[in-house]
Amino acid sequence: MVASARKRPLLAAVLGLVYPGLGHVYLREWARALLWFGLIVLTGSLMIPDSVYPATLTVESLMQMSRAMPLDAVIALSAVTGMNMVDAYVLASRNNEAHERVAEGTQCPNCGRDVDPDLEFCHWCTTDLDAGDEN
């Protein structure tokens, strides 16, 4: 089904940079958001050694943790974040393209499938396509 509103792809990508999955929350892609949240937590728990974790959570201890993090953990976390940003950007762009096709009348507003513009109804779900055009 086609989303009802256009979304900003750049905003979705920036939110994904803040925390992986946050851009997908903005896009209301709940399952993907949970998968990205889980993937970044799993990557961090597998790649960051226990000796790096601070005993107390202060700004200074978190800064020391980031300096002591191994390079392979930084690369893995950066890769997951980058892939998440690209996914959010592409998803928002595709949503906008689908929204434009619906507005042009080449896609059914109900089921989202391509329709023949010469017909007055969707041959997939039988929705009346001219109902919104009457004034």
Scanning the chain, the segments in alpha helix (DSSP H) are 9-18, 22-26, 30-47, 59-68, 71-104
Please name the residue that has the structure tokens 């002591």: 68
Each residue's pLDDT tens digit, 50-109: 999 888 989 999 999 999 999 999 999 999 999 999 999 999 999 888 777 666 667 787
Of 131, 129, 127, the residue nearest 105 (C-alpha): 129
Phi, psi of 132 (to 5 degrees): -85, -10
pLDDT of res. 9 = 95
Give the pLDDT confidence score for residue 100 in this predicted structure: 76
- With b meaning 16 or more CB within 10 Å and e meaning fewer, what string describes 68-93? ebeeebeebbeebbeebbebbbebbe
How far is Cα 64 from Cα 51, in angstroms, rounded to an integer? 12
Integer Cα distance of 26 and 38 in angstroms: 17
128 - beta bridge partners?
Answer: 121
**What are the residue boundaries of the structural domains of the chain, listed by start?**
9-104
**Cβ-based neighbours of 54, under 8 Å, separated by 6 or more:** 61, 62, 64, 65
Helix (H) or strand (E) holding 19, with range, is none
Q: ∠ CA 20-25-31 to the nearest 5 degrees? A: 85
pLDDT tier for residue 5 given thresholds of 50, 70 and 90: confident
Share the mean pLDDT of the chain. Answer: 87
- What's the CA gap between 64 and 5, in Å, rounded? 43
pTM over 0.75: no
